[in-house]
Chain A
Amino acid sequence: MNKKQFSAPSATKKAKYRNDDEDDDYPGSFEAELATMDEMENEFGDMSQVIEEGPEQENTYSKWTRPPPPLLNPQKDALIFQQIDIDHYSGAPLPGMPGSIIPPVPIMRMFGVTELGNSVCCHVHGFSPYLYITAPQNFNENHCRLLKEALNKALLKDMRSNPENIQEAVLAVERVYKQNMYGYTGSDKSLFLKITVALPRLVARCKKIVEEETILAEFNHQYTAFESNIDFDIRFMVDTSVVGCSWIELPPKTWKLRQHFGHNLPLTTRCQLEVDIAWDAFIAHAPQGEWSKIAPFRILSFDIECAGRKGIFPEPNHDPVIQIANMVIKQGETEPFLRNIFTLDTCAPIVGCQVLSFEKEQKLLEKWADFVRQLDPDIFTGYNINNFDFPYLINRAKHLNVKDFYFLGRIKNIKSVIKTQVLQSKQMGRRENKSINFEGRVPFDLLLVLVRDYKLRSYTLNAVSYHFLQEQKEDVHHSIITDLQNGDAQTRRRLAVYCLKDAYLPLRLLDKLMCIFIYMEMARVTGVSMCSLLTRGQQIKVVSQLLRKTREKDYLMPVHRGQVSDEQFEGATVIEPKRGYYNDPIATLDFSSLYPSIIMAHNLCYTTLLKHDKQIKLKIDSDDITVTPTDSKFVKATLRKGILPEILENLLLARKAAKTELKNETDPLKQKVLDGRQYALKVSANSVYGFTGAQMGKLPCLDISASVTSYGRTMIERTKHEVEEQYCTSKGYKNDAIVIYGDTDSVMIKFGVKTVEEAMELGRVAAEYVSSKFLKPIKLEFEKVYFPYLLINKKRYAGLYFTRPDKYDKMDCKGLETVRRDNCPLVANMMNTCLQKLLIDRNPNDALNYAKQIISDLLCNRIDISQLVITKELTKTDYAAKQAHVELAAKMKKRDAGNAPKLGDRVPYVFTRAAKGTPAYQKAEDPIFVLENNIPIDTNYYLENQLAKPLVRIFEPILGEKAESLLLKGDHTRTKSVVTSKVSALSAFTRKKEICLGCKAVLTPEREKMAVCKYCEPKESELYQTELYTGRKLEEKFCRLWTECQRCQGSLHQEVLCTNRDCPIFYMRKKVQMELDTQMKRIERFGIPAW
């Protein structure tokens, strides 16, 4: 399907991953990250499940099913597996297991795969949910019982209905000594009550009752709840030290295998092994050494095609699903071991792929669901499967009333249903995301992953595949899809091949981008399941890490009520840039992991935060206190070491270890794991700061976040000061060093030396010198030298990046129009070339000439239209402000409703010439329409609104004030050529007269059929050759373009159908065809050589 609805890209710019220089982490992105954290975390509310009896497993093909598991004896054998998903359900207690014996009890479920590739579902019994509340004074053991009874009563009363027949809501009340983690209160622990309840959902109710009602009249105490907002699954993982995707070992004698050895509990899942164990009996292996391996998970990538009606986005209630292509790969292997395609109606065979054809759509869907169940994949992947493919299939199945389609998860009797998740964020507003439950399987939608982790111009599969794999993807227009389907077995085969390619691409991208490794390692590092990484915000990762630490240290995490406060704090600082083009080496010093190291150096933490009154009360010596630049107070590590610094230390140490290990590792698979891990650790360390600043988050603490940024600011200023003080002529250096620019965590210094080598030497020394002025572990590192360096503005610069004195590593551009999405490719390409000429060739003149040339080409219509196309997604039609692409979509609908863009489509457009004063949004036009009708492009608009600003920006530092006039006014802007439109208002009243190809004089009627007028006749041969020459060039282009498309589509005998508008060839192909026809007509006017 090429017209999936793309969810709006994620709110923020995330530091792009894998620049290979691993310290490319700009804390500048933290603010952005902070904003994501402001997203309302959507809680999955109650776990409503649709339960119905699911179908039995069929066995259609032996190749589909997993290898049979070895026979294990729980008495003798251990069962070891890597879990991938953890959830819970309410069930009956199992005799012999800890915990409540009165049903219902919560039971945890861990799904995973053994090293041999057998799927496991492990039921974990006896773990109960709980919360903490503050205890009144003089609360003794006796009161515990009283409170328990009173609470129990209140809770049962609170339940209006009690379908599960809960008899005992509160299981226990215990007295515990703990400390509130928020704020330093000395070293004494205080009394808290731990209330254990029967079911997870009772936790929140219990909190409400305790805080709002009077339970024990004896105490006049305002109870405050702690840790009542923790997900039960996270709670379980924290308490059992299970991290995401870790290996679980069930030692012999501790577990029971269902349906074997007299353990006759029914099988409830489709896993091969279903076992029961007590929650305190299994071993959770920390993902280190041997246990960092990854089990052979089955990854199913699929893609569906629908036969849409003309002009309407496919709707599951009308448009059939015609094909589903599947590719299955085992984690760790390079090629899929299973390829098949389900087609509606016959389909000619495809080499290397199983074709399953069905006459009825119902049967197709039924069999596909059956295939999924037999295959038993651990991970679903594909492109936009979460928001398109899965919901479409499910809704379609519902519409057709397909039996047993919905049972796609691992639990036999639970249907997969679509839930709509609404995410609210400051930048993007409301956006909807669909989520579907597949108990035990992880839906790993590549689109969501890319939107989360990469900042790209466009997120279509075409664009993504070109960006990462440098390959264009064949794209079949949706109107053609229906035609192909309605053709014969051959045309459907054609479609099937295309569909298979779309299913294969996500697998290649997963492999190339190491997504699975990164997400697994992220799950391991942060301790949450893989699912929550994809569906939840950033917060849960930090919460999970915090909880693990607080549990260890007897702290309790308060429940924060999210409220928007207008309290703002100053962000990171920027030293005012001294703009210009520097033809000197500029050394760059960076603070490595600036924000984490500030937190560590100053012991900033919830647990060390000192309120003003507490200082006097606890009589703390001011020597033991750090006062931050924002006037917050924190106790020093000598009094108490904070848990945030500890978490960060562990993360950074682990990262260092992972990097060392990575260097010594030779196995490429393990290398990928380690590389994924070190990246995950880096991201995790950086997210801690954001967590403290997220005001809608679980536990914001402005004292910390504001202090961190203010420290950052002072440090940059201080560095500038120290450097300029030390490296000056008065201290014996040849030149005065000047800090020309400083951003969040780096400063750029011009030492005044002439060679890269000298600059590097000085940079290294300076980094060490300045580092010594700061508290450990804050460290200033010398990383690179820019030479030359073009400093345009704050966060906008470019330079040649040297890490070795002999050769540059790359050209580094920050904040320039090379990656922005809202302009046409011409801008990005031109900027890139100009910068290359400026920086690599060091030839400003050449760059200027090039820019002039492009401007002149633009004005004279010599720029290929694909370079001018701007693309925007049509998300809704009723924007408040008029938007070009929306207006165009409406216009196109009037013209041809069938091929007009629909909601969710991406609309490509160019700006065309219109009467003066026409607003820009009315000038947008479909590029194909423009080509076909020879409509003039509004080149001035492109020059003024697209090219001008970025160009002036990069040339101003070099040319100064006159840049603008040099670039935008000058001889090169004088010549313009405009084509005459075939559809303009005037063209209806004009008649085309043939003109002489030599002198452009109108030909007299008797010569109309000829090429030249009688005065030009002597020059006929020359004129003919001129025309011929133009024709030859076009012919060459034509041949090269079309053969390229043939190669790309992988077939010589079939017509090229591709309409991939992201591919530069698409428009060129069309254009050259039209131009050739025109040119051939001109040439023919000279007469066809006939003998």
Chain B
Amino acid sequence: MEIQPQLTYRRKSFQFKDLKKFDISEQYFEQQYCNIYKARLRVLKDYLLEKAKIKWAHNQVITLAELSERNKSDTCVIIGTLYKHQELKPSILHELSNELQLQVQPARINYASFKDILYLEDETLRIKLIGNHINIQNVVTGIVCAVCGHELENGEFLVIDWCLPGCCPKLSILDQLETQGKILIISGLDLANNLQLLNINLLFEWITGMVGCEKVHQDVASIVCVIVAGNSIRGSLETHNYKKYFETKAHDEAIFKETANITHKLDNLLCPVVKCCPVILMPGEFDPTSHTLPQQPLHPCILPQCSRFKSFHTVTNPWVGSINSRIVAGSSAQPITDIMKVAGLVDISPLMWLERTLLWRHYAPTAPDTIPTYPSNNIDPFIITECPDIYFVGNMDKYDTKLFTADEGQTIRLICIPKFSKTQTDCDIR
């Protein structure tokens, strides 16, 4: 307190801009999902057309409808959205009819099976894709791509080669920033199930400079902001199968009570941090905000204490913003975990999928098919329109990172943030 008054560390300056890409002011549910797919195809098709012209200069790019007017054996290029037909996808229709049989469908870890069929679909038609060039395990529903090949007699399309939209170019390659700083990202505080608050307290005290030696303080002062990447309140939701309404109601009420307590706790915990360091709070799958992606920022009334501070920012999930001119993008977890469910059988690390989403130029291709998604009208918010410098995903099982260099030389720092409650790990990035 008064012991070392001379040692004052000023926190590095913090310029923050939320790109507001995923904000929805008023929610309407009149629209259908086809609008998202249409918008996605419309935007990404342009990039693909360019790439396809370079890659397969000799082959004409046509629509599926034109396919039938051509000689079947001629090689051509078609652009469309992939759709993976999977019998194991959870179907509400089956659940409704199974209600009679009282069979509880086992929650599936993934939906993939060897019977999956891959289709390519443009605005009007779909065609079955075959051939060894596309490994069905490596792709998911919703990716827009171009395929080169020819139609077979039975109406299937033999793929010889294919092409993805590729990574988005960087708007401006910033020269070395004058201000160096660190961003600290944590995810999955899971206060509901994480009973030992010591870790969190320790972390927050460390951030606020309440613990550690001078060196630590100096170190800590270089943290320009803290990003809390989702599932702060709850990391999972026990699925309750109460058939009886009153039990369900009682259960629900208990949950509300608990959640209210926990949000209060979170408010208390975060408050001292917010006082001295900017905090960006992102909701996660189980946090009290909308269920559909993009999840909207937590409501101020939930965290009344923190909300009073200017340094407290609640944002959407997924989110893109710029912090000290660095573009930071990321999501709490859903896009990546869902991709892994759809892709299924192969063992590919989340980091790898994160990298692929960049090549697909799409944050969450499986939305809206298997991720609950808001039915936006005429836009697909998840298309990557700005190349991030830092691209993270929260709530993963373990920490993983890599510097990814795309074809056009863009470098992107990819990070998988582990769940804090399980691993007590956070990441700080320079």
In the complex, whether A853 has a CB less than 8 A from a CB of chain B is yes
Closest residue of chain A to B119 (Cβ to Cβ) is A1050
Say whether, besides A1021-B301, A1051-B126, A1052-B34, A1039 and B373 are in contact (CB < 8 Å). Answer: yes
A residues less than 8 Å from B314 (CB atoms): 1089, 1091
**Could you tell me if B102 and A833 are in contact, using CB atoms closer than 8 angstroms?**
yes
CB distance from B329 to the nearest CB of A (A): 18
**Could you tell me if A1064 and B93 are in contact, using CB atoms closer than 8 angstroms?**
yes
**Could you tell me if A1039 and B292 are in contact, using CB atoms closer than 8 angstroms?**
yes
Contact with A along B275-301 (1 / 0, CB 8 A): 000000000000011111000111111
In the complex, whether B302 has a CB less than 8 A from a CB of chain A is yes
In the complex, whether A1080 has a CB less than 8 A from a CB of chain B is yes
In the complex, whether A158 has a CB less than 8 A from a CB of chain B is no
**Could you tell me if B100 and A1044 are in contact, using CB atoms closer than 8 angstroms?**
no
In the complex, whether B421 has a CB less than 8 A from a CB of chain A is no
CB distance from B33 to the nearest CB of A (A): 6
**Could you tell me if A1025 and B245 are in contact, using CB atoms closer than 8 angstroms?**
no
Contact with B along A840-856 (1 / 0, CB 8 A): 00000000011001001
A residues less than 8 Å from B100 (CB atoms): 829, 832-833
Flag the segment in A358-366, A961-969, A985-993, A1029-1037 that touches B: A1029-1037
Q: Which of B116-155 contact A (CB under 8 A)?
A: 121-127, 151, 154-155
B residues less than 8 Å from A490 (CB atoms): 123-124
**Could you tell me if A1039 and B372 are in contact, using CB atoms closer than 8 angstroms?**
yes
CB distance from B248 to the nearest CB of A (A): 10
Contact with A along B1-40 (1 / 0, CB 8 A): 0000000000000000010000001111110111001100
B33 interface neighbour in A1046, A1050, A1073, A1076, Cβ under 8 Å: A1046
Contact with B along A345-359 (1 / 0, CB 8 A): 000111111010000
Flag the segment in B65-73, B166-174, B383-391, B392-400 that touches A: B65-73
Say whether, besides A493-B124, A1039-B373, A1022 and B260 are in contact (CB < 8 Å). Answer: yes
In the complex, whether B407 has a CB less than 8 A from a CB of chain A is no
A residues less than 8 Å from B29 (CB atoms): 1038, 1073, 1076-1077, 1080
**Could you tell me if A853 and B244 are in contact, using CB atoms closer than 8 angstroms?**
yes
In the complex, whether B362 has a CB less than 8 A from a CB of chain A is no
In the complex, whether A921 has a CB less than 8 A from a CB of chain B is no
**Could you tell me if A1065 and B92 are in contact, using CB atoms closer than 8 angstroms?**
yes
Cα distance A946–B332 in the bound complex, in angstroms: 49
B291 interface neighbour in A470, A829, A1035, Cβ under 8 Å: A1035
Flag the segment in A112-120, A131-139, A517-525, A1053-1061 that touches B: A1053-1061
In the complex, whether B317 has a CB less than 8 A from a CB of chain A is no
Say whether, besides A1053-B121, A1089-B314, A849 and B244 are in contact (CB < 8 Å). Answer: yes
In the complex, whether A486 has a CB less than 8 A from a CB of chain B is no
CB distance from A829 to the nearest CB of B (A): 6
**Could you tell me if B69 and A349 are in contact, using CB atoms closer than 8 angstroms?**
yes
B93 interface neighbour in A857, A1035, A1065, Cβ under 8 Å: A1065
B residues less than 8 Å from A18 (CB atoms): none
In the complex, whether A984 has a CB less than 8 A from a CB of chain B is no
**Could you tell me if B67 and A1043 are in contact, using CB atoms closer than 8 angstroms?**
no
In the complex, whether A717 has a CB less than 8 A from a CB of chain B is no
Say whether, besides A349-B69, A829-B100, A1022-B260, A1043 and B125 are in contact (CB < 8 Å). Answer: no
**Could you tell me if B291 and A1031 are in contact, using CB atoms closer than 8 angstroms?**
yes
CB distance from A899 to the nearest CB of B (A): 19
B residues less than 8 Å from A860 (CB atoms): 245
| Among A470, A490, A1051, A1087, residue most surrounded by chain B Cβ atoms (within 10 Å) | A1051
Closest residue of chain B to A1065 (Cβ to Cβ) is B93
B residues less than 8 Å from A511 (CB atoms): none
In the complex, whether B96 has a CB less than 8 A from a CB of chain A is yes
**Could you tell me if A1044 and B155 are in contact, using CB atoms closer than 8 angstroms?**
no
**Could you tell me if A1036 and B34 are in contact, using CB atoms closer than 8 angstroms?**
no
**Could you tell me if B372 and A1044 are in contact, using CB atoms closer than 8 angstroms?**
no
CB distance from B23 to the nearest CB of A (A): 9
In the complex, whether B313 has a CB less than 8 A from a CB of chain A is yes
A1042 interface neighbour in B255, B301, B375, Cβ under 8 Å: B375
A1052 interface neighbour in B83, B93, B259, B264, Cβ under 8 Å: B83
Q: Which of A320-370 contact B (CB under 8 A)?
A: 348-353, 355
Q: Which of A1066-1091 contact B (CB under 8 A)?
A: 1073, 1076-1077, 1080, 1084, 1086-1089, 1091
**Could you tell me if A348 and B243 are in contact, using CB atoms closer than 8 angstroms?**
no
Q: Which of A292-310 contact B (CB under 8 A)?
A: none
In the complex, whether A1026 has a CB less than 8 A from a CB of chain B is yes
B residues less than 8 Å from A1050 (CB atoms): 126
B residues less than 8 Å from A7 (CB atoms): none
Cα distance A1065–B93 in the bound complex, in angstroms: 7
B residues less than 8 Å from A1037 (CB atoms): 92
In the complex, whether A1003 has a CB less than 8 A from a CB of chain B is no
Say whether, besides A1020-B301, A1051-B121, A1077-B29, A348 and B92 are in contact (CB < 8 Å). Answer: no
Closest residue of chain A to B69 (Cβ to Cβ) is A349
In the complex, whether B178 has a CB less than 8 A from a CB of chain A is no
In the complex, whether B256 has a CB less than 8 A from a CB of chain A is yes
Closest residue of chain A to B122 (Cβ to Cβ) is A1053
**Could you tell me if A351 and B37 are in contact, using CB atoms closer than 8 angstroms?**
no
Cα distance A857–B296 in the bound complex, in angstroms: 33
**Could you tell me if A1032 and B99 are in contact, using CB atoms closer than 8 angstroms?**
no
**Could you tell me if A1036 and B302 are in contact, using CB atoms closer than 8 angstroms?**
no
In the complex, whether A771 has a CB less than 8 A from a CB of chain B is no
Cα distance A351–B66 in the bound complex, in angstroms: 10
In the complex, whether A191 has a CB less than 8 A from a CB of chain B is no
B residues less than 8 Å from A353 (CB atoms): 155
B residues less than 8 Å from A349 (CB atoms): 65-69, 125
A residues less than 8 Å from B68 (CB atoms): 349-351, 355
B residues less than 8 Å from A1042 (CB atoms): 32-33, 368, 375
**Could you tell me if B155 and A352 are in contact, using CB atoms closer than 8 angstroms?**
yes
Cα distance A1056–B368 in the bound complex, in angstroms: 14
B residues less than 8 Å from A1052 (CB atoms): 33-34, 37, 81, 83, 121, 369
B residues less than 8 Å from A1041 (CB atoms): 92
Say whether, besides A470-B97, A829-B99, A1036 and B28 are in contact (CB < 8 Å). Answer: no
Cα distance A1063–B263 in the bound complex, in angstroms: 41
Q: Which of A426-464 contact B (CB under 8 A)?
A: none
**Could you tell me if A1089 and B296 are in contact, using CB atoms closer than 8 angstroms?**
yes
B30 interface neighbour in A1031, A1073, A1086, Cβ under 8 Å: A1073
In the complex, whether B74 has a CB less than 8 A from a CB of chain A is no
Cα distance A849–B243 in the bound complex, in angstroms: 10
Say whether, besides A352-B155, A1035-B290, A1021 and B302 are in contact (CB < 8 Å). Answer: yes
| Among A1025, A1044, A1052, residue most surrounded by chain B Cβ atoms (within 10 Å) | A1052
Cα distance A1054–B25 in the bound complex, in angstroms: 26
Closest residue of chain B to A1075 (Cβ to Cβ) is B29
Cα distance A1080–B30 in the bound complex, in angstroms: 12
B residues less than 8 Å from A1022 (CB atoms): 256-257, 260
Closest residue of chain A to B259 (Cβ to Cβ) is A1025
Say whether, besides A1051-B121, A1055-B32, A1026 and B290 are in contact (CB < 8 Å). Answer: no
CB distance from B96 to the nearest CB of A (A): 5
In the complex, whether A813 has a CB less than 8 A from a CB of chain B is no
**Could you tell me if A1032 and B301 are in contact, using CB atoms closer than 8 angstroms?**
no
**Could you tell me if B102 and A836 are in contact, using CB atoms closer than 8 angstroms?**
yes
List the 3 shortest-distance A-B pairs measured between CB atoms, nearest first. A352-B155, A349-B68, A1039-B372
> Could you show 21 A-B contacts with beta carbons less than 8 Å apart?
A350-B68, A350-B125, A351-B64, A352-B155, A849-B244, A1021-B304, A1022-B257, A1028-B288, A1028-B289, A1029-B288, A1035-B290, A1039-B291, A1039-B368, A1040-B372, A1042-B32, A1043-B370, A1052-B369, A1053-B38, A1054-B34, A1065-B92, A1089-B314
Residues of A at under 8 Å CB distance from B? 348-353, 355, 470, 472, 490, 493, 829, 832-833, 836, 849-850, 853, 856-857, 860, 862, 1020-1022, 1024-1026, 1028-1029, 1031-1033, 1035-1044, 1046-1048, 1050-1056, 1063-1065, 1073, 1076-1077, 1080, 1084, 1086-1089, 1091
Q: A1042-B368, A1043-B369 are in contact. List 6 more A-B contacts (CB 8 A).
A: A351-B125, A351-B126, A493-B65, A1021-B304, A1063-B93, A1064-B93
